[in-house]
Amino acid sequence: MSRVTIVPEEDRLTTQIAFAVEIDKLKRIIRRNLLIDGSRRENDAEHSWYAATLAMVLGEHAPPGTDVQHVIAMLLVHDLVEIDAGDTFIYDPVAVAEQAEAERAAADRIFAILPAEQGARLRALWDEFEARETDEARFAKAIDRFAPILANHHTEGGTWPLFKVTAAQVREKVRVIAEGSPSLGAYARELVESSVANGHLPE
Amino acid sequence: MSRVTIVPEEDRLTTQIAFAVEIDKLKRIIRRNLLIDGSRRENDAEHSWYAATLAMVLGEHAPPGTDVQHVIAMLLVHDLVEIDAGDTFIYDPVAVAEQAEAERAAADRIFAILPAEQGARLRALWDEFEARETDEARFAKAIDRFAPILANHHTEGGTWPLFKVTAAQVREKVRVIAEGSPSLGAYARELVESSVANGHLPE
């Protein structure tokens, strides 16, 4: 980059490109769940695309008045902290507790690469997603939780038998989905009960 | 899915989930360019996340009045046709010409999985992206073209020497970037000339 001339009006762009280079690393963060064809485990970047696109497609199942564009923006950045903090398996309560501090530190570092007010704006999207207090955040979280259930349903239980997850644990995640979208929650419940009936998810 | 009860108000959701299952395949479509760390080739799904997120971060460099949310929506779906048609290397003119018909057929099939009016809306996003006649489409295409130049610049030329791409060919792509965003075009030009000077891109 030594030949790139820095002039004042280009400072913001240079900083934003440094952020772009940094977040490319999300493609190397591997999640537990498999692709729907079962061929391999998913990475955070392709999961983030999938979640954002599902929000666009399923937006009508969010509560009336939900700003779907805002949900999409949240989902595009919701896993960036995992560049430093790594992926946490949501059925491991100890890891989830330890993870919170690591993710805050990651957010402090990664969003600070951007121009200050822009970094604060993107950081606020992540904070909102984590707090799950707005309709937008609850719907975003519903999509985030729905995607691996869909994948597991299509791969004979996928990560459920592999990591000894029980139906009771998955039903708790279904409640989180229903809080963001009642109809998506009902659909997820059918998928889960179908997986239990098929022997792909133990009680 | 045989246990999922279909009642009228859930028909749309069932159709949308079928689309969700279909588009998961985008994660298996491999592009030519490498990740920025050079570790492997990129897939279309993670590329689509990267492009949509870059549009959010770089939106201020689009012409005044550009609807960045619309750009993001376009970028989320811009490569779905490659599920059927595969990735085309943009420096191969014969493949590019043959590709157009295959992509149209793919769009006809894939967007038609959705409820009709929603499928038409998403299809329109793809048509708009391809036509490159709106500020939004030109900016989306600029981001799409910029990302692999950034990756190649960071990987000693990446796919350029590998596929014998010349500086003149890359400078043509830089013109497409400048049409969508003059400042991003100027930045891309600096990256390309720096790569030429470093011997990573032959004249």
> What is the tens place of the pLDDT at every residue in A111-158?
999 999 999 999 999 999 999 999 999 999 999 999 999 999 999 999
CA distances from A97 to A33, A80, A94 (A): 20, 18, 5
pLDDT at B95: 76
Q: How far is it, in rounded angstroms, from Cα A77 to Cα A122? A: 7
Helices (H), A61-134: 68-77, 82-85, 93-111, 116-131
Phi–psi pair at A101, nearest 5 degrees: -70, -40
**What tokens appear for B90 in the block?**
């943009």
To the nearest whole angstrom, how far is the Cα of A201 from the nearest Cα of chain B?
15
Band of the pLDDT at B123, cuts 50, 70, 90? very high
Band of the pLDDT at B8, cuts 50, 70, 90? very low
Within 8 A of A123 by CB-CB distance, chain B residues are none
CA distances from B154 to A130, B47, B94, B108, B142 (A): 33, 16, 28, 37, 19
DSSP annotation of B165: -
Tell me if B35 and A58 make a contact (CB, 8 A cut-off): no
Q: Which amino acid is at A103?
A: E
Q: Report ipTM (2 d.p.).
A: 0.93
Within 8 A of B35 by CB-CB distance, chain A residues are 24, 27-28
**Predicted structure pTM score:** 0.93
Residue from B25, B39, B57 whose CB has the most chain A CBs within 10 Å, to mutate? B57
Within 8 A of A69 by CB-CB distance, chain B residues are 69, 72
Query: 3-state DSSP call for residue B199?
Result: coil
